[in-house]
Amino acid sequence: MDDRTTVHVRRTATLALWALLAIACLLGLAAAGATSPPSSTMLREPTYVGPLTAGAHAALGAPQPGSGGWYWPIGTEDFQGWSGWLDPRGAYVHVAQDMPCAYGHPVYAIGDGVVFISRADTGGYGVGGAPGGCIIIAHTTAAGTRFHALYGHVYGLKVKTGEHVQAGEVIARVNGCRHLHFSVHPGFTYRDGNPYAGHVPKSWADHGGYVDPVKFLKTNPRAVAYEPPALPRTEITTQAPPLQFGAAAGFAYWTEEGGAGSVTWRDDLSTGARTALAPGDVVPAFDTRRYDFEALAAPALGFAVSDHEPVLTLKAKHDTPPWGEDASLVASLTNFAGAPLQGGILKLQRSNGGRWENVRLDVTGAAGEATFLYTPSAATALRVTFAPPADQPAARIYLAARSKNVTVTPHAALTTPRVPAVIDAADLVTAAGDLLPHHPAGGYSVDLVFQRRADGGDWVTQLTVAAVNRDIKGSDATRFVGHARLSAGSWRVQAVHPADVAHALSTSSWRPFTVE
């Protein structure tokens, strides 16, 4: 093919693209009834052909609410790195998250809502850019933000325009594109009147009003009815009518008449262990914000105490994750008696220079639990807070709660040192590799451990060398380089990054080599 032919073919392709765009614009025009053609469009999207995660298969069962308390549209939050928010497409950007799954995979409504549009023949949503199924549903967040969610590349539409849908309801199935195109558009007014857009011109700084759908769902919890369980009530029976009582910091106190005069008792509200206080011991003031009191009805003597303070615990499943991987943090919200509080909005916060900043929001499920994922780049203190909604019933008012801090410390990432397989004993051995995260050039962050095989076959450490840090152009990693002069024999070398405040101890694999 000569140059002229290439030019001709290119021009034909360009004309065909313009023709496609014109058709897409006409379709959009007819659907939206606008007076000028929309600039946004749905470009042809590739069919997903890769393998599916266990999550995408497991989601075929009954869906469960995920991050933010939303039902995720294909039942999993693992999108396998598939086309995401603002991926470039020529002069356009992708304003959605593509979610790979099998043909026929159910599509779930992320929350309660009202169907705005349900069409089986929307331009660009079929296989290879043909017309196909697209559903847009109006949803509302817990904070009252109203938004449209678009579920594209579907067939077998089960809902009609104007219908109410319930959270987790199957609304359609994924068509032969083998991925769901999912977008979020807060507010219901479209910049160019086209509600079907999957791609908007790169030049639009506001992305046509679309927002990152994954980030949006994770940071804007779903409105769920918060039903706090009844306040836990502890009954304390006494031998004689209590003369006075109080409660503070997890203990109830009362004074009653005994054989030899009055005695003050203390009862641990979590264990029920009872202790007589020595005369003169100070009884703390009654904490009326946290505790309710009620005298027990006859024939029992004594009183009941209820605690308004919920218990919020946070556990890291992996507090030293491999570099670049998530630590999974499970927060659990219960009352003092251990009953779960469902629908509680929890905030994951991280410490940043003495300030706590919000990282993520989630809503507790039926077990009172929420799971947060966090990828640390250095040792980071994390905590979770609970702020009860303002409209709790008076008899069930819970106070705010905060978990203890958990620190997650990532490992550093080390490549296996690079060394030639065979080295002349007269030469200097150079071992080099890469270290993440970046360390200042000129320092010594990595030790190189050289071991020689002894006559018996055991590896014996002969030498440890501090490798010097070097910057790598255009990379966040640091190169480590170290030298050694070694005698003839079988050798191996390993890089070790010692534990420091910011990172956990990490080691590379061994690299074997021979010195002759």
In the complex, which residues of this chain contact Zn ion (CB under 5 A)? 45, 96, 98, 181
| C-beta of 190 vs 398, nearer to Zn ion | 190
| C-beta of 134 vs 446, nearer to Zn ion | 134
Torsion angle of alpha carbons 34, 35, 36, 42, nearest 10°?
20
| C-beta of 20 vs 359, nearer to Zn ion | 20
Q: Is 46 left (phi over 0), alpha (psi -120 to 50) or beta?
A: beta
CB atoms within 10 A of CB 426: 8
Kindly state the smallest distance separating residue 483's Cβ from Zn ion, in Å: 51
| C-beta of 178 vs 511, nearer to Zn ion | 178
Rounded CA-CA distance 120/108 in Å is: 17
Kindly state the smallest distance separating residue 132's Cβ from Zn ion, in Å: 12
Kindly state the smallest distance separating residue 513's Cβ from Zn ion, in Å: 48
| C-beta of 213 vs 221, nearer to Zn ion | 213
Kindly state the smallest distance separating residue 136's Cβ from Zn ion, in Å: 14
| C-beta of 71 vs 182, nearer to Zn ion | 182
| C-beta of 96 vs 316, nearer to Zn ion | 96
Kindly state the smallest distance separating residue 93's Cβ from Zn ion, in Å: 11
CA 146, 150, 156, 162 torsion: positive or negative?
positive
Nearest residue by C-beta to Zn ion? 181
Cα separations (Å) of 103 from 47, 100, 179? 10, 10, 8
Kindly state the smallest distance separating residue 153's Cβ from Zn ion, in Å: 8
Rounded CA-CA distance 416/420 in Å is: 12
User: Going by DSSP bridges, is the β-strand pair 113-122/199-201 parallel, antiparallel, or unpaired?
Assistant: unpaired
Tell me whether the omega of the peptide bond preceding residue 437 falls within 30 degrees of 0, making it cis: yes
Kindly state the smallest distance separating residue 46's Cβ from Zn ion, in Å: 9
| C-beta of 44 vs 396, nearer to Zn ion | 44
Rounded CA-CA distance 300/499 in Å is: 60
Cα separations (Å) of 282 from 266, 278, 299? 11, 9, 30
Beta bridge partners of 471: 478
Kindly state the smallest distance separating residue 43's Cβ from Zn ion, in Å: 8
Tell me whether the omega of the peptide bond preceding residue 131 falls within 30 degrees of 0, making it cis: no
Kindly state the smallest distance separating residue 130's Cβ from Zn ion, in Å: 15
- Contact predicate 351/366, CB 8 Å: no
Per-residue tokens: 273? 């262990």
Alpha carbon of residue 285 to chain centroid: 42
E-strand ranges in 90-178 read 92-94, 97-100, 106-108, 113-122, 132-140, 146-155, 164-165, 170-174
| C-beta of 98 vs 256, nearer to Zn ion | 98
- Contact predicate 509/494, CB 8 Å: yes
